[in-house]
Amino acid sequence: MELPTLDLNLIVVLHALLQERNVTRAGERVGLSQPATSAALARLRRHFDDQLLERVGSHYELTPLAQGLRAELGETVERLSRLLTAQPLFDPATTSRRFTVQCSDSVLTVLGAPLVAALHAAAPGAGVDFRPVGRGMLSDPLPALADIDVLVMARGLLSDLPNQDLYTDHWVCVAWRDNATVPDSLTAQDVRERPWVVPYGPSPQASPADAHLAALGLGRRGTVTVQSFTALCRLVVGSDLLALVHERDLHAAPDVPLRRVGLPTKMPALSQAAWWHPRRQLDPGHRWLLGLLSDAAAELPPL
């Protein structure tokens, strides 16, 4: 495939012109004089065979073609910038980069400390920001992923994005140890009718566990909802609530008086994976961070 011939610098000028709708301001934005910006506009008009900017009274308005170009150019310019500034090397010892990792509090409990220790040992000038997972990540993940380096999330909620397996966990049903009203094994009716404390709402979109249960007609009644996984263990204490918790979170809270309760179905394994925006593929620092995450996950004790 042959691309149309056009100076890439003109794309940057075009973006500024369509944003500003003013030759002088567009030139100031990209560091060009007014005559140079006018000359660039003339070249763009010849290339597209369209006026792009049309004077209406004392100001310019975009032609229909320019309106379509404006809608596409923002992301195109950003991608071109990342593509043309891609570097083959990344030096952890000298970098001052600040990475962003988005994950649940459960993942932070499991991987946070080993990741921070490894990062500070190899890259003392680097930093890392941990962010909680927002609801927008599931409804429209690509724009949300554009602002972070890595998202760690269980499989079954995202698809069609670059990803890498990290570690496996299990779902465990628990009750307060002194709650004698809960049997050692639940029936299907128990799952549907007993009160639960649930993370992020009992819906198939909230977690792979609820997606599995909903498919079997075992929707849970979320009496208490919390924006957390690690809090589940402690919230059932002193109540008749049930909770489905991650086994690694259960191991991290040995002091909490809980007992395990059987379920009427075998729960699928919980596979935590790293996810990222496709444009990160060219980023050697991103690949290095993925390596740290993989190494930290590989050192986790088996369940």
The pLDDT tens digits of the residues spanning 86-123 come to: 556 789 999 999 999 999 999 999 999 999 999 999 99
pTM score, two decimals? Answer: 0.70
Q: Is the per-residue pLDDT at 290 higher than 80?
A: yes
User: Residue 29 is part of a domain; what is its CATH number?
Assistant: 1.10.10.10
Q: Which of 84, 110, 138 is the last residue of a domain?
A: 84
| 52 inside domain | yes
**Distances from the Cα of 95 to the Cα of 123, 149, 250, 297, angstroms:** 7, 15, 37, 23
Please report the pLDDT score of residue 197 as a whole number.
Answer: 94
Do 51 and 119 have their domain in common?
Answer: no
Amino acid identity at 126: A
**Cβ(118)–Cβ(295) below 8 Å:** yes
Contact partners, residue 149, CB within 8 Å, separation at least 6: 99, 100, 101, 276, 280, 285, 286, 289
Do 39 and 74 have their domain in common?
Answer: yes
Structure tokens given for 254: 């040995």
| 303 inside domain | no
The count of structural domains within the chain is 3
Do 61 and 129 have their domain in common?
Answer: no
* Domain span holding position 73: 8-84
Single out the residue of 174, 175, 142, 137 nearest to residue 154, CA to CA: 137
Q: Is the per-residue pLDDT at 132 higher than 50?
A: yes
Residue 5 has a CB neighbour count (10 Å cut-off) of: 6
DSSP 69: H
Q: Is the per-residue pLDDT at 85 higher than 60?
A: no
- Gap between the Cα atoms of 42 and 13, Å rounded: 11
Q: Which of 84, 117, 145 is the last residue of a domain?
A: 84
- Gap between the Cα atoms of 258 and 234, Å rounded: 9
Q: Tell me the per-residue pLDDT of 29-41, one tens digit each, with 9 for 90 and over.
A: 878 888 888 888 8
| φ, ψ (nearest 5 deg) of residue 188 | -60, -40
| 93 inside domain | no
Do 108 and 62 have their domain in common?
Answer: no
Q: Tell me the per-residue pLDDT of 180-209, one tens digit each, with 9 for 90 and over.
A: 999 999 999 999 999 999 988 655 556 788
| 184 inside domain | yes
Please report the pLDDT score of residue 2 as a whole number.
Answer: 46
Residue 161 has a CB neighbour count (10 Å cut-off) of: 14
| 212 inside domain | yes
**Cβ(221)–Cβ(195) below 8 Å:** yes
Do 12 and 50 have their domain in common?
Answer: yes
Do 231 and 260 have their domain in common?
Answer: yes
